[in-house]
Amino acid sequence: MNSDQIKAAFRRAAKVSPLYRPFQLFKLATGGPHNRPLAHTFDFMESARGTLHWRELAGPDYREGVVTLLGHFTVLPDLILADDGQWLGVVEGAGADALGASYKIIVRRWEMGVDDHTPVIRNAAP
Q: What per-residue string of b and e applies to 72-82 under the rule 16 or more CB within 10 Å gives b? A: eeeeebbbbbb
Alpha-carbon gap, residue 41 to 26, rounded angstroms: 9
pTM score? 0.85
Alpha-carbon gap, residue 19 to 49, rounded angstroms: 10
59-94 per-position pLDDT tens digit = 655 678 999 998 878 899 999 999 999 899 999 999
Share of the chain above pLDDT 90, in %: 37
Q: Is 34 helix (H, G, I), strand (E, B) or coil?
A: helix
Alpha-carbon gap, residue 38 to 23, rounded angstroms: 22
| CB contact set of 86 (below 8 Å; sequence gap of 6+) | 109, 110
40-60 per-position pLDDT tens digit = 889 999 999 999 998 776 665
pLDDT score of 59: 63
